[in-house]
Amino acid sequence: MISTYKKHKENETYQLVPGPEYAQNWHIRILEGNFIETVIEVGTISFNEVDEGVLTYNFQIIETPDNTLTIDNPDLQLVVGEILEEIIHASIENNDGSIQVREKK
């Protein structure tokens, strides 16, 4: 896995685009790097209860110009995780109600 961590920024390195099925369902389009123009949809995001400070998430690829790319690609997983961290951090910092936190049952 290649660590290419950089600060991601909405509308520069990624773009949020509405999903077709639900008003609250958003996709993420990657705008630069190895996965440019790849669009993903993120499912459940949670904080790992065993490893403190670790996000657990799942996602699917909606579209990509690379027909060999899969969700099992560790570099894609890293980029998606970095973007999710930025989205969550910005949402908490802005306190604009764009993120909902629920207790796990």
On average, the pLDDT of the chain sits at 83
What confidence tens digit (pLDDT) does each residue in 35-75 have? 999 999 998 787 777 766 677 889 999 999 999 999 999 99
Say what the pTM is. Answer: 0.79
Is 9 a member of any domain?
no
Total number of domains in the chain: 1
DSSP string, 2-28: --------BTTTEEEEE-SS-TT-EEE
Is 74 a member of any domain?
yes
pLDDT band at 31 (very low <50, low <70, confident <90, very high): very high
Is 23 a member of any domain?
yes
Domain region containing 54: 14-94
- More reliable by pLDDT, 5 or 14: 14
